[in-house]
Amino acid sequence: MKATEDVRARAERIRSISWTQSMDHIYSRVLLMREYLRRAALVVGDEQPAGWPFADLAAVVTPAVRADPVLVAEVARVVRDAGQFTPIPDTCVAALHWARLAADRELPWPDPFEPLLLMYERGGGFTFNDAGMIEVDLVGVPRRKPVDYLSATPIGSLDAAFLAEADAEFERKLRAKRAPAAPAAPAFTRTDGRLVVELRGVLDQSGLDTVRSVLRLSPRGDLARVRAAEFGDRVLADGAGELTFWRNSAELWSITLDYRAGLAESELAAIDSDIERATAATGLAVVSQRRFTPQS
């Protein structure tokens, strides 16, 4: 029977997941989580079922269609024994019920659990951070209402080649952005200096807007885009320096000030004061502050 074969094939696939956490596929895993959320939203529409966004989507469509309970219990046990706790085992069980439903009838939606299972296979599960976001390899993905995901852009492909290229492109851009944020060996000239303030915390759009406002930065980047690293900048009067706000990871940020020799200490003190106000207003914590002075 096709339904039985499809469910058993999916169960075997879940049993084969290693669940070893890996940071090798950050970008593609975030893309896959977002695609799951988009597809799940297509299924539930305006409703928000219990457990959203990791709900039993087959039960939303037809509660009576269920996978074999013995197989369901076995898969849930295997995933829990691998150290994965709610809601990850629940998503694996829900994937079995969906396979049973899809084998029974032709459905108008793409399989929502396929991208989620691919995400698991590319580096393990996910967690929830202190801000309540879905955290995939330190990248926070907002938990929103289903309707908010309906307009999301579909993933380009679920093919391994597409996902590998997405990861490679992300790494190339990340390497290009890392140097200004946390230079290992700053190469300053006799006329240059740099102030680097590293921060830790979670920023939503409101918090980001507050930082930009206090520091008087022109907006750059989009929080929803994982690739985005620069989120605002400002050129000081007379071109004496440039202030820039960077995202290094989901909860790590930095402010850099590159300045010319002769920049008044009062200007530096004013920027320090602005940074203190920005962190106090948003809850960001200063991790370190380093100043590289002009070479003598």
Task: For residue 236, name the pLDDT band (cuts at 50, 70, 90).
Answer: confident
- Spatial separation of the C-alpha atoms in residues 175 and 64, rounded to whole Å: 51
Question: Do the Cβ atoms of 193 and 263 come closer than 8 Å?
Answer: yes
- Rounded CA-CA distance 39/53 in Å is 11
For residues 133, 136, 137, 142, the Cα torsion angle rounded to the nearest 10 degrees is -30
Partnered with residue 59 across adjacent β-strands are none
- Print burial letters for 134-152: b (CB count within 10 Å at least 16), e (below 16): bbbbebbbbeeebeebeeb
Q: Using one digit for the tens of pLDDT, what is the confidence trace for 166-209?
A: 888 888 876 776 554 444 333 323 336 788 899 999 998 888 98
Question: Do the Cβ atoms of 182 and 254 come closer than 8 Å?
Answer: yes
Band of residue 158 on the pLDDT scale cut at 50, 70, 90 = very high
Between the alpha carbon of residue 94 and those of residues 31, 120, 145, 180, 287, the distances in Å are 20, 14, 19, 44, 41
- pLDDT for res 265: 82
CB-side exposure of 265: number of CA atoms within 13 Å? 1
Do 33 and 141 form a contact (C-beta atoms < 8 A)?
yes
Residues 51-95: tens digit of each pLDDT: 999 999 999 999 999 999 999 999 999 999 999 989 999 999 999
Q: Answer for the pair 218, 233: CB distance below 8 angstroms, yes or no.
A: yes
